[in-house]
């Protein structure tokens, strides 16, 4: 076998968020990988801005299957991956007012149908767990409770992936901008701000920029839609222990809040279309979060401790896109992780790696419990 030339890799992965890092980790078990990130630090964009939860309620069958197939890894990561637990049980309640009972019942039936542990609870039962909720039927009438919803240590998961990639002998570059991408002689040739690189396969894990990377490589874009979501933190009520509160949101998707390290993280659950960018919170998003949380509870948010926004990037059918592009040789899609990219990362990365290595991918899909055709890029072609 000829020795690879300098700057040559089996796979070059563009995008140092959870998507790029997780698939790089899986592939680096047997291949020489380069993971490229444009920013000064990995996980600077969406991955570093998530709500850090594992929830099955309200997700479709494919996302539930990918999440559940990830739980083994999250509960019991490979040896040496991390010293800290990646999951901590918090539970989650989705509420409805009296006019939304039908939607709540459908969400409950769907969850049960997918095998999620869930139960219907009354407003009075919810108020035993979160005493500050409003229990008028036109505000909160009932809820679905998912006791096994979890908080995810995203930093622990992400750093475990990066450490693992390096320990397996593969490479990671930050502060690397791609100036040109060309295909010739069975290779992608990348000119970056620092290096000339080549690889037979280019993995597009560029999150909100996935379509831009495709265009630069001459591939047809998928039509991804980045959507901005706003987050705030605020103090818990004085002298109230919130550590056992579950996460709570509503079925119409106008707010949620999560206890975290003595304060509350809140969101208006917004989905504002945005171009790919360094998303920033705006006044309307913050004010809507405050208003909607106050409308559903007796919490008074007099001071915002911090605020941020991130882009959740969806393919038109809101499922991830994983696999080789049929029209562009050696171009592999791994983007569209929407609002579920952390909780699905381990299983999606294993599936992505199997597809990229052209190994028994249908067996992996079967093991994960998904219909592979629903995630392949061919569905848009």
Is position 86 an interface residue for ligand FAD (rule: CB under 6 A)?
Answer: no
CB of 2 to ligand FAD, least distance (A): 29
Burial 1-20 (b: 16+ CB within 10 A, else e): eeeeeeebbbbbbbbbbbbb
Please report which helix (H) or strand (E) contains residue 181, including its range: strand 178-184
Is position 266 an interface residue for ligand FAD (rule: CB under 6 A)?
Answer: no
Is position 16 an interface residue for ligand FAD (rule: CB under 6 A)?
Answer: yes
Residue with Cβ nearer ligand FAD (47 or 116): 47
Q: Tell me whether strands 201-204 and 331-335 are parallel, antiparallel or unpaired.
A: parallel
Query: What is the DSSP secondary structure assignment for residue 337, as one 8-state letter?
Result: -
Side-chain half-sphere exposure of 376, counting CA atoms within 13 A: 16
Q: What is the DSSP string of 5-44?
A: PTTB-SEEEE--SHHHHHHHHHHTTTS-EEEE-SSSSTTT
User: Which of 23, 27, 36, 142 is in the footprint of ligand FAD by CB under 6 A?
Assistant: 36
User: Which of 213, 319, 353, 364 is in the footprint of ligand FAD by CB under 6 A?
Assistant: 213
Is position 160 an interface residue for ligand FAD (rule: CB under 6 A)?
Answer: no
Of 280, 178, 276, the closest CA to residue 221 belongs to 276
How far apart (Å, rounded) are the C-alpha atoms in residues 186 and 82?
38
How far apart (Å, rounded) are the C-alpha atoms in residues 80 and 78?
6
Is position 206 an interface residue for ligand FAD (rule: CB under 6 A)?
Answer: yes
Is position 231 an interface residue for ligand FAD (rule: CB under 6 A)?
Answer: yes
275: number of Cβ within 10 Å: 11
How far apart (Å, rounded) are the C-alpha atoms in residues 96 and 109?
15
How far apart (Å, rounded) are the C-alpha atoms in residues 37 and 377?
23
Is position 339 an interface residue for ligand FAD (rule: CB under 6 A)?
Answer: yes
Binding to ligand FAD (CB under 6 A) within 318-337 occurs at: 335, 337
CB of 293 to ligand FAD, least distance (A): 15
How far apart (Å, rounded) are the C-alpha atoms in residues 66 and 365?
9
- Contact range with ligand FAD by CB under 6 A, out of 31-39, 94-102, 347-355, 366-374: 31-39
Residue with Cβ nearer ligand FAD (97 or 270): 270
User: Which of 38, 59, 198, 296 is in the footprint of ligand FAD by CB under 6 A?
Assistant: 38
Is position 20 an interface residue for ligand FAD (rule: CB under 6 A)?
Answer: yes
Residue with Cβ nearer ligand FAD (24 or 142): 24
Is position 51 an interface residue for ligand FAD (rule: CB under 6 A)?
Answer: yes
Is position 219 an interface residue for ligand FAD (rule: CB under 6 A)?
Answer: no
The answer to whether 165 touches 24, Cβ cutoff 8 Å, is yes
User: Which of 10, 26, 37, 146 is in the footprint of ligand FAD by CB under 6 A?
Assistant: 37
Beta bridge pairs of residue 309: 230
The count of chain residues that interact with ligand FAD, using the rule CB under 6 A, is: 40
Report the interface residues with ligand FAD, using CB under 6 A: 14-20, 36-39, 43-47, 49-53, 178, 205-209, 213, 229, 231, 310, 312, 335, 337-343
């Amino acid at each position: 076998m000829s020795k690879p030339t300098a700057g040559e890799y089996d796979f070059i992965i563009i995008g140092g968020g959870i998507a790029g890092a997780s698939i790089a980790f899986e592939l680096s078990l047997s291949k020489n990988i380069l993971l490229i990130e444009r920013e000064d630090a990995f996980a600077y964009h969406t991955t570093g801005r998530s709500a850090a939860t594992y929830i099955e309620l309200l997700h479709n069958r494919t996302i539930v299957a990918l999440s559940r197939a990830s739980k083994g890894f999250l509960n019991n990561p490979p040896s040496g991956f991390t010293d800290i637990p990646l999951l901590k049980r918090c539970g989650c309640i989705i509420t409805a007012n009296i006019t939304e009972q039908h939607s709540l019942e459908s969400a409950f039936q769907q969850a049960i149908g997918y095998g999620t542990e869930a139960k219907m609870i009354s407003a009075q039962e919810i108020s035993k767990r979160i005493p500050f909720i409003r229990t008028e039927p036109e505000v909160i009438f009932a809820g679905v409770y998912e006791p096994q919803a979890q908080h995810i240590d995203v930093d622990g998961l992400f750093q475990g992936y990066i450490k693992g990639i390096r320990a397996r002998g593969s490479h990671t570059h930050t502060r690397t901008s791609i100036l040109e991408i060309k295909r010739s002689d069975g290779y992608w040739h990348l000119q970056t701000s620092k290096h000339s690189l080549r690889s037979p396969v280019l993995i597009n894990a560029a999150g909100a920029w996935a379509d831009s990377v495709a265009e630069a490589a001459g591939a047809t874009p998928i039509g991804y839609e980045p959507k901005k979501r706003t987050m705030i933190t605020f103090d818990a009520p004085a002298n109230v222990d919130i550590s056992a509160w579950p996460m709570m949101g509503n079925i119409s998707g106008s707010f949620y809040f999560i206890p975290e390290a003595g304060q509350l993280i809140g969101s208006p659950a917004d989905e504002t279309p945005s171009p790919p960018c360094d998303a920033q919170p705006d006044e309307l998003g913050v004010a809507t979060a405050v208003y909607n949380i106050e409308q559903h509870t007796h919490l008074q948010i007099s001071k915002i401790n911090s605020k941020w926004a991130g882009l959740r990037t969806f393919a038109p059918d809101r499922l991830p896109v994983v696999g080789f592009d049929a029209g562009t040789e050696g171009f592999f899609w791994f983007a569209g992780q929407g609002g579920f990219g952390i909780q699905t990362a381990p299983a999606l990365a294993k599936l992505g790696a199997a597809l990229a290595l052209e190994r028994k991918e249908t067996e992996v899909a079967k093991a994960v419990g998904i219909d592979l055709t629903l995630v392949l890029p061919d569905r848009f072609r």
